[in-house]
Structure 1
Amino acid sequence: MSTSRTESRGTAAKNTDASGREQWGSQLGFLVAAIGSAIGLGNIWRFPGVAYENGGGAFMIPYVVALLGAGIPILFLDYALGHRFRGSAPAVFRRISKKLEFLGWWQVLLCFVIMTYYAVIIAWSLRYVFYSANVAWGKGSNAANHFNNFIEAAPAPQYSLAPVWNVALPLAVVWIVVLVAIGRGVSRGIEVANKVFLPLLVVLFVALVLRALTLPGASEGLNALWTPDFSALKEPKVWLAAFTQIFYSLSVAFGIMLTYASYLRRRSNLVGTGLVASFANSSFEILAGIGVFATLGFMAAQQNTSIGNLEGVQGIKLSFITFPAVISEMPGGAIFGVLFFLSLAFAGITSLISLVQVVAAGVAEKFNLRPAASAMAVGIPAAAVSLMVFGTKSGIYSLDVVDAYINAIGVVASAVLVCLITAYGVRNLKQLQRHLNFVSETGNLVGAWWRWLVGVVVPAFLSYVLVSGIVGYIRNQYDAKSYTRGFENAFGWGSVAVVFVGALVFTLIRWRTPVDDFEPISLEASNTGGAR
């Protein structure tokens, strides 16, 4: 046996626990992966627009309240569940109660659906890196025509089976990179990938922001974003937008952070890591706001108009229509474009890896598969769905509808159920509170306030969001101006139904691993909850 092979096996052995379960190579590796998962496309193209439309600088007040009152508490809940019960989402909830395995598979199937369209957006970003090199879309309004021609958008939202080959090649690259990372395991694959892509993302994006700040009109863009409108704080929708942004941005309550935390060593600083990851994510969102609105300020100056008169200040239009239009007008636009779209791609890849790992971990444990086998078992059907549903000429329409329904209904429902079940169904919150304090050695830092937030405040708020979303979609659809009810039913309610049926089917399949033969980490703490 060669020396290198012996060393490789020795490293793999060091990164498993006594039961053979994989572990992160270090606490830093977990932290980088957690930050990489949280920092995604939404930080760049969603937060700036949401802040601008909901009070500007004043939006930071409800944003911080949402971060402290909902985001961090639910992140702690995910960490505690994953670390204490040490498994994929289905295994964790089954170990809490056999009746709860369905909830774990609900989270797994949510991630499966999300990753199939998320990969397509990353593929668009990769293709636009090359388009940026020579500003292929030309000047001004040509950016919109170029994007529609690139994705070969059908004239109306009606499902098409015709694949877009311009998208297929970069999509294949995306899936190969992600599946190689997943197949190599937690420490040698996911951790290494995040240690490469996250620093690259930060360096590229900081360079992009610095360049944006030098553009004519940048200060006007920043004034438009950060000038506070305190009267907006009287509007419930502003607070709703803040809580929703935090909730989606941190990747909580649908299996990602739960799965990542399950690979931590038995003594890990869950509380400290959660705080660092949360504030790192929010810091990047603020950085994105500065970069995006400095750029929009330049665009407004070029058009001799105000920021308020610009269209496409968030979402797909911002990234693939508005920004290309800006790039074509600015000095050194090609370099700026390459930086921007590489940043989008790297942000997307780190988040996509975390989504795929939730699914791969659940499948691996259910069917007793090695990481490489589970990566292929998950990746091949996911890549097929990406190409055949979201990589087609109708892909942009189906992507929009599925994203709206899966997030507003599927993800929010998952969060409500996790909070209510742990608080009232199995009454596990006090035990999880003790676990957070014990393994993090924080004394009583996580106190009764945490149980009150997780058991009362967050589920009450999210229940309101969930019911409002369901009623609104039933009565008025998601976007009745753009889509027929039949199209929305097929892709919107249809995607929710796929998650439900898929979760039910996987729950009924027999486990190939002894999932019930498990002892959670022993707590040597008092009933009042401190560390040693």
Structure 2
Amino acid sequence: MSENLQWDSSISFLLAMIGAAVGLGNIWRFSYVLYSNGGGSFFIPYFLAIAILGIPFLILEYGLGFSFKDSFSNILKSINERFEYIAWMLLLFVFIVVCYYMVIISWDLIYLLSSFTFSWGADPTVYFANFVGGDSNLANAWTVLIPTAIATLFIWAILWFISHKDLNEGIGKVAKVLIPALFVMMAIIVFYAFTLPGHMIGIYALIRPNWSTLLDIDIWLAACGQIIFSLSMGQAIAMTYASYLPDKSKLADNVLLVVAANSLFEIFTAFGVFSVLGFMSLHSGIRLSNLVAEGTGLVFDVFPMIFNVMGPFAKVLAPLFFLAIFFAGITSALGLFEPMLSSISHKYNLSRRQATTILSIIGCAISLLFTTGIGSYLIGIIDEFINEFGILFLIGLQCIIFGWFYKIEDLVPILNDHGTIKVGKKWIFVIKYLLPVLILGIWIYGLYDLFYEASAFELMIDLIIVVVVLVMSFILTKRKSRIIE
């Protein structure tokens, strides 16, 4: 039977939530988004998006999880039985994210081990393509990258080991160790970056405001997108973690603490990233704009190249950098894994250990599909589709469901009961009217670029994902627990 779980302290919950929010995107995505969307002027739409989009929706998720104290699928089912299908769609999308996210962590593990000897060589891009992540050459689809496959199996073993334990013995203890360690390591990296010659070149390029961009709708949409994905909004993580909260928890207060920690981390990290890029620009004579990259290109191509020329301290800084990414990845993976784990446990009356074992075996098998010679290309396709099409659309649906099919007014006294931050009619208005329009507007606006620029192969992958998710959602919704008991 599924256990009744509860955090042993508010600290465990807060650190687990911060760990779920502070992930790989905070390290390798935010600095690029800030730089390419107006620099310092981007902070205006960024903080407005936090206030209008991030905080209200997270308060909703915390309130629902705390109030129902149930799995995500059961919460939607209790509102309307037909909504269980929508719940499983979201859970499956998020589970797919876990599967390729684990492979990205395995890439980082390989680079962590390589960082002691700089075995990536003079050209890290070639090293990544040939030995770690592959490329977009479809002829390499049947080539298995053995180091990545082995590392992926190891990462899944770690996830299973942590997640199968009692909530506080597993996720709680890990969050208490890894999150403070992550913040300390990143502080060391960033403060050292501030000592590098040329660091101000990078910082100035990062924060130099371009006020004219505030008239560009794309900048505002970029800010909203950053907040949605940076805070892991609407992915059932916050709702699931909040369902384990004890009575008398300060829900809205906790939201502000998590949002503040997440934003401070990604802003602070962005300064460090661009300080290092400024150093490289000064040292190599390469224009900084030619060094700026997003995602895996920054971490696995640009930074190893910089470590190669940084000097003796790079032998310390490089392992520290990749270890910080590893910690951020593991804590986020635990958060992404938990909603499906909770819902499967409740649906089929499984123990936490049983559900973790089943999901880990299935997830690991899926992850191995991304350890081929086109792994990084597949992950890029699927990541863009799931986040910009699937999850974003289902976040909008959640706003409609919780705003219009559930009596959201009943949450207000629960949210206001023990916290110092109060919500009321303005918050209800945002959830019921503003957020559905805003999120679905962002979704519609992004559909053109998502599909117009896609190749036939990319469209085929997208179609396969949709079919699998729709079919599996139907099976999970219809199948009763007695079938497998």
Q: TM-score range by the shorter chain?
A: over 0.9
Q: Return the offset for 1:512.
A: 5.2
**1:410 corresponding residue in structure 2:** 390
Give the aligned residue type for 1:47.
Answer: F
Residues 7 and 172 in structure 2, CA contact (< 8 A), matched pair in contact too:
yes
Counterpart selection for 2:434 from 435, 438, 457? 457
**1:71 corresponding residue in structure 2:** 54
Give the aligned residue type for 1:475.
Answer: Y
**1:430 corresponding residue in structure 2:** 409
CA RMSD, Structure 1 to Structure 2 (Å): 1.7
Q: 1:185 to 1:490 in 2, by over 3 A?
A: farther
* 1:481-500 correspondence runs (5 A): 484-485=455-456, 487-500=457-470
Q: Return the offset for 1:155.
A: 5.7
**1:467 corresponding residue in structure 2:** 444
What is the DSSP-based 3-state SS (H/G/I as helix, E as strand, rest coil) of the residue aligned with 2:67?
helix
* 1:122-161 correspondence runs (5 A): 122-139=105-122, 142-151=123-132, 153-154=134-135, 156-157=137-138, 160-161=141-142
The runs of 5 or more residues in structure 2 that have no matched partner are: none
Residues 252 and 415 in structure 2, CA contact (< 8 A), matched pair in contact too:
yes
Residues 125 and 344 in structure 1, CA contact (< 8 A), matched pair in contact too:
yes
Figure out how many residues of one structure are paired with residues of the other and give that number.
481
Moved over 6 A (4+): none
Counterpart selection for 1:81 from 60, 64, 82? 64
Residues 110 and 406 in structure 1, CA contact (< 8 A), matched pair in contact too:
yes
- Distance of 1:224 and 1:441 partners within structure 2: 41
1:25 pairs with 2:8:
yes
Q: 1:297 to 1:32 in 2, by over 3 A?
A: same
- Larger displacement relative to structure 2 (286-295 or 163-172): 163-172
- Larger displacement relative to structure 2 (36-45 or 183-192): 183-192
**2:381 corresponding residue in structure 1:** 401
Q: Return the offset for 1:442.
A: 4.0
Counterpart selection for 1:283 from 264, 271, 295? 264
Q: Return the offset for 1:138.
A: 2.7
Counterpart selection for 2:98 from 92, 115, 133? 115
Residues 201 and 278 in structure 2, CA contact (< 8 A), matched pair in contact too:
yes
Deviations 1:169-191 (A, max 9, x none): 22122111111111002111111
- Distance of 1:262 and 1:496 partners within structure 2: 29
- Distance of 2:198 and 2:476 partners within structure 1: 55
Residues 179 and 375 in structure 1, CA contact (< 8 A), matched pair in contact too:
yes
Deviations 1:294-323 (A, max 9, x none): 01101111122332232x422110000000
1:323 pairs with 2:306:
no
The runs of 5 or more residues in structure 1 that have no matched partner are: 1-18, 478-483, 514-532
1:241 pairs with 2:211:
no
**2:472 corresponding residue in structure 1:** 502
Deviations 1:260-288 (A, max 9, x none): 00001122111111110011000001111
Could you tell me the percent identity over the aligned residues? 34
What is the DSSP-based 3-state SS (H/G/I as helix, E as strand, rest coil) of the residue aligned with 2:447?
helix
Deviations 1:24-78 (A, max 9, x none): 1111100010000000000000000000000111111100000011001111111
- Distance of 1:423 and 1:152 partners within structure 2: 42
What is the DSSP-based 3-state SS (H/G/I as helix, E as strand, rest coil) of the residue aligned with 1:267?
coil
- Distance of 2:135 and 2:393 partners within structure 1: 32
TM-score by length of 2: 0.96
Q: Return the offset for 1:159.
A: 7.2
Counterpart selection for 1:94 from 73, 77, 82? 77
Counterpart selection for 1:357 from 338, 348, 362? 338
Deviations 1:104-149 (A, max 9, x none): 212210121000000001011111011111111233xx12111112
- Larger displacement relative to structure 2 (428-437 or 269-278): 428-437
Give the aligned residue type for 1:114.
Answer: V
- Distance of 1:230 and 1:295 partners within structure 2: 25
Residues 28 and 295 in structure 2, CA contact (< 8 A), matched pair in contact too:
yes
- Distance of 1:163 and 1:358 partners within structure 2: 30
Give the aligned residue type for 1:68.
Answer: A
TM-score by length of 1: 0.88
Q: Return the offset for 1:152.
A: 6.2
What is the DSSP-based 3-state SS (H/G/I as helix, E as strand, rest coil) of the residue aligned with 1:446?
coil
- Distance of 1:155 and 1:459 partners within structure 2: 36
- Larger displacement relative to structure 2 (144-153 or 111-120): 144-153
By relative contact order (CA 8 Å, sep 6+), the higher-ranking structure is: 2
